[in-house]
Structures are given as C-alpha cells and as structure tokens.
Amino acid sequence: MRFSCSLPLDETTPGEFMTLDAITGMVQDMDRAGIDGVFVTDHPAPSARWLGGGGHATLDPFVALTVAAMASPRIQLQTHIVVLAYRNPFVVAKAAASLDALSGGRLILGIGTGYLKPEYAAVGVSFEDRGAITDESIGILRQAWTGEPVHHESPRFNARDVVIHPRPPRAGGIPIWAGGNAAPAIRRAVALCDGWSPFPVAGVVTKTARTDELSTIAQLKEKLAFARAYGDEIGRTDPLTICMGRLDNGELVPQDAGSAAQAVDAYGALAEAGVTWTTMGVPSPSRAAFAENVQWFGEEIAAKLR
C-alpha cells in the first residue's frame, strides 16, 4: 500500500498554509514520514454558495505541485483530481508535461468530470457534454505526450502539426488515473487510463456529487469485478492501478493507539481488495500540528502496511 497525503490549503491562520515556505515544509514533513505522494484538488471557479456550504479553497494544481516537486526529490505528485473538461487539452498537456519533466517523471494525473454546474458555466464549458469532452481530451493528451506532431480534428478541438514539448521522460507518458464511482467512470478508467480513483461517498452526498454510493468494501469489490469484466470484454491486458481512500468513516485521532489500529485495519481491507494506492490526510489545525500528525501517521499506520 502506498499513501498520498492531501496538501491542506484551507487557511486557519492567515499565511500559515498558502505560502511557498509552508508548502515546502509540509511536503518535507511528508517525505520524512515516509509518505509516498502528495495530492491537491481542482476548483478554478467555484461558487460562493459551494464554498459557504463546506467547499474548500484550492490553488491551481500545477502551481501547487511545482512547489511540492521542489521540496522533495522523491515524493510523487498527484492531481486528485483535475477536472479535465475545464481546460483545453493541449494546455493541460503542456502544463502536465512541463511539471513531469521538471520533476523527473513524478506526476500522476488524476482526472475526472466534476459535478459543479456553476463552475462549468463560469469556464464556458457544457456540463452535459463533460463526459465526451473528457474522453476526447484523454486521447489528445496521449498523442501530445509522444512528442510527435498531433493532427486532431473535431467539432471541439482542431490541431494541425501541433507539437507539445518537453516530452514526458517515462515510457508511455504520464500515468492518468480516472476518478468517479459510476459505470461510465469505471469504463473510462479501464478503456483509456492507467488507474481508477473512486471516492468514498454515501447518502445524500451521492446526489450532490452526481456519482454512485461507495461506502463499503463489498461495494468496492463489486465495482472492481465490473472493471475486470469490462477489461476482459475490451481486451485490456495492462494492470489497472486502484487508488481509494478508507471506507470505514473512522475519525483519525493522532497519538491515539486505537485510532491507529482502526486505520491499519481499514487500509488493510482496501489492500486485500486490490487497492495499491490510497489517499489520506491528517488533522491540520496548525503547521506544527500537521508536522507532528503526519509523522505519527507514517510511523504508526503507513509503516505497518508495507
């Protein structure tokens, strides 16, 4: 099991988290704790209503992860997730390839279709077409990262003799992990991507996030069986990386042995089901608390699952 830690960017004390020094320090804290990756989310133009109802602040993911890349030569850099349809895919290809090259091939491009209609309206993209735009964009990314001229003509995107440099250093380009719990998202991951990143979600939140409920190991196993069956149907032979956060709704209480044991059990159940990466976060009321808590997590939870 490998762990990717969220970069806490909601301000508690002004200037405590959203600074170059703070991000650098937090990523170095993760590195010392043995965490494998750092992730950020993506909301370029959220509504005030969403923010006021529990939404969260973000930085541009490529900017934030560039700072993270400079802080550690080892930590993997994960977008979890970029809403791919918000941006022209050639612009995404350039930004991702630039970050991947500068970091020595450490970017994991988690992508998804998103669920906020007002945000789609703000960036001028059709909400109803988000799935088709995402699928087409993935194909363009794959072509662009070959370093060869791209020829692509469609009602949405037209490119003739377009070249994206630098070319990502890894064979096959940058790994793409598709987020989402519903059948179309799983089929997208299996057919077009290197990994699948479902989200723990239950109850009324499934309607808000416009996705399927996923709150138990049994449900996860059902969806993994669906993914395997679809892979067999289309002839996929490459393994599919699965990245999934814990499903038991357990509250992480740093320095508490019982909380650590519960987390080890929860992550162990994910690993038994076939999950190889998991997303996590630690309570971060302050920078000092983040440093202490991520070290505790690394020693008492992550180390016991390797």
Give the tens place of pLDDT for each residue, 197-247: 999 988 645 666 667 899 999 999 999 999 999 999 999 999 999 999 999
Q: What is the pLDDT of residue 57?
A: 79
Give pLDDT tens digits for 55-87. Answer: 887 899 999 999 999 999 999 999 999 999 999
pLDDT range class, residue 129, cuts 50, 70, 90: very high
CA-CA distances (angstroms) from residue 124 to 9, 86, 117?
26, 8, 11
Task: Count CB neighbours of 94 within 10 A.
Answer: 16
Give pLDDT tens digits for 140-199. Answer: 999 999 999 999 999 999 999 999 999 999 988 999 999 999 999 999 999 999 999 999
| Residue whose token pair is 């072509």 | 143
Dist CA 73 CA 27 (whole Å): 10
Dist CA 147 CA 164 (whole Å): 6
Which two structure tokens, joined as six digits, stand for 114?
């998103």
Which two structure tokens, joined as six digits, stand for 200?
């723990």
Question: Using CA of residue 134, residue 63, residue 10, residue 267, what is the dihedral sign?
Answer: positive
Dist CA 110 CA 243 (whole Å): 10
Range from 92-106, 199-213, 244-258, 283-297 carrying the lowest mean pLDDT: 199-213
- Find the mean pLDDT for residues 125-146: 97
CA-CA distances (angstroms) from residue 262 to 34, 72, 247, 258?
20, 30, 11, 6
pTM of structure: 0.95
Provide the β-strand partners of residue 30.
none
**Which residues lie below 8 Å from residue 129, measured CB to CB, with a gap of 6+?**
85
CATH topology of domain 2-305: TIM Barrel (3.20.20)
Dist CA 140 CA 144 (whole Å): 6
Q: Where are the beta strands (DSSP E) in 102-261?
A: 107-112, 150-153, 158-162, 176-179, 195-197, 241-242
Dist CA 186 CA 61 (whole Å): 23
